[in-house]
Amino acid sequence: MEKKPFVTKEKLEEIAAKYPTPFHLYDEKGIRENARRMNQAFSWNKGFREYFAVKATPNPVLMKILKEEGCGVDCSSYTELMLSDACGFGGADIMFSSNDTPPEDFRLAKKLGAIINLDDLTHVEFLNEVAGIPETICCRYNPGGTFRTANGIMDNPGEAKYGMTYGQMAEAYRKLGQLGAKRFGIHAFLASNTQTEEYYPELARILFELAVKLRDKTGADIRFVNLSGGVGIPYTPDGEPVDILKVGEGVKEAFRRVLEPAGMGDVAVFTELGRFMLGPYGCLVTRAVHEKHTYKDYIGVDACAANLMRPAMYGAYHHITVMGKEDAPCDHKYDVTGGLCENNDKFAIDRMLPKIDKGDLLVLHDTGAHGFSMGYNYNGKLRSAEILLKEDGSFELIRRAETPEDYFATLDFLNLFG
Give strand pairing partners of 36. none
Nearest to 204 by CA among 145, 249, 266: 249
Q: Render 181-193 in DSSP notation, one character per residue.
A: --EEEEE----SS
Query: What SS3 class is residue 368?
Result: coil
Give strand pairing partners of 322. 362
- Residue pair 383/306 in contact (Cβ under 8 Å)? The answer is yes
Maximal CA-CA distance, the chain: 74
Contacts of 172 by beta carbon, 8 Å cutoff, 6+ apart: 118, 121, 124, 139, 164
Give residue 364's Cα distance to chain centre: 18
- Residue pair 318/366 in contact (Cβ under 8 Å)? The answer is yes
Contacts of 417 by beta carbon, 8 Å cutoff, 6+ apart: none
First-last CA distance in the chain: 61
d(CA 334, CA 8): 24
d(CA 162, CA 159): 9
Q: What is the DSSP letter of 6?
A: S
Strands 94-97, 115-118: pairing is: parallel
341 is catalytic: yes
Identified catalytic residue from 87, 139, 283, 341: 341
Other C-beta atoms closer than 10 Å to the C-beta of 36 total: 12
- Residue pair 42/244 in contact (Cβ under 8 Å)? The answer is no
d(CA 255, CA 250): 9
Q: Which amino acid is at 316?
A: A
Query: What SS3 class is residue 129?
Result: helix
Instruction: Point out the residues that are catalytic.
Output: 341
